[in-house]
Chains A and B, each alone.
Chain A
Amino acid sequence: GDSVTQMEGPVTLSEEACLTINCTYTATGYPSLFWYVQYPGEGLQLLLKATKADDKGSNKGFEATYRKETTSFHLEKGSVQVSDSAVYFCALSDRNQGGSEKLVFGKGTKLTVNP
């Protein structure tokens, strides 16, 4: 079945450092890919998405590119801020290929950014 693998956390960075959180997936065809962010004490929020190969999703300075050849969707940011401290979840869905509405989530990666 479909699955998502994220890099293990936690990740601790200093402010203004570069961030990469790796995400790879296993699925048939061309699933839609998502990054969600969960700030402390809150629910998950959609951060960005991509629906086809080579698409780049971007939001709040974060970017991720849908790489079909490597089945990856790594999250990147050039300069992190303390306010980026959160848990980040990679997810996929095959809804656009007639699959179910279910999102398959990775286990999450906790990011802490220190001043």
Chain B
Amino acid sequence: DAGVIQSPRHEVTEMGQEVTLRCKPISGHDYLFWYRQTMMRGLELLIYFNNNVPIDDSGMPEDRFSAKMPNASFSTLKIQPSEPRDSAVYFCASSSSLGDWYGYTFGSGTRLTVV
């Protein structure tokens, strides 16, 4: 298995532009999580899905952020409009509710810079 795949690895955009981050979870995993990591705040859970349905989006900072999971193999996190304070590394992770649980498998992250 190729693991959790995120794209792009790096994104530089201007303030006010729309940004879309993408994630492909591990095949067969039924949970998907979006995290944001910054030096100041550490690792923050933004939203997570179960079987493509959003379960908890209480960590989404504001209405500028939205996430979708149209099918079991794809999710997006969109920021519109982007602001410099959104600069961070965004991680996607997936897990399976079946069998022994080993926590999450994380992707390599997308480093977002908003200038």
Q: Taking beta carbons and an 8 Å cutoff, which residues of A are in contact with B?
A: 32, 34, 36, 41-46, 49, 89, 91, 93, 95-96, 100-103, 105, 107-108
Contact = CB atoms under 8 A, between A and B. Distances in A.
A85 B72 CA distance: 35
Interface string B88-115: 0001010101000111111111000000
Determine the interface band of chain B, counting residues with CB < 8 A from chain A: 20 to 34
B109 A101 contact: no
B108 A93 contact: no
B43 to A, nearest CB: 5
Given A105-B43, A107-B42, A43 B91 contact: yes
A43 B101 contact: no
Q: Is the interface of B mostly helix, strand, loop or mixed?
A: strand
B112 to A, nearest CB: 14
Given A89-B43, A108-B43, A101 B31 contact: yes
B42 A91 contact: no
Identify the 4 closest CB pairs spanning chains A and B, nearest first: A43-B106, A44-B106, A107-B42, A43-B108
B103 A34 contact: yes
B101 A95 contact: yes
B70 to A, nearest CB: 20
B90 to A, nearest CB: 10
A45 B106 contact: yes
B103 A43 contact: no
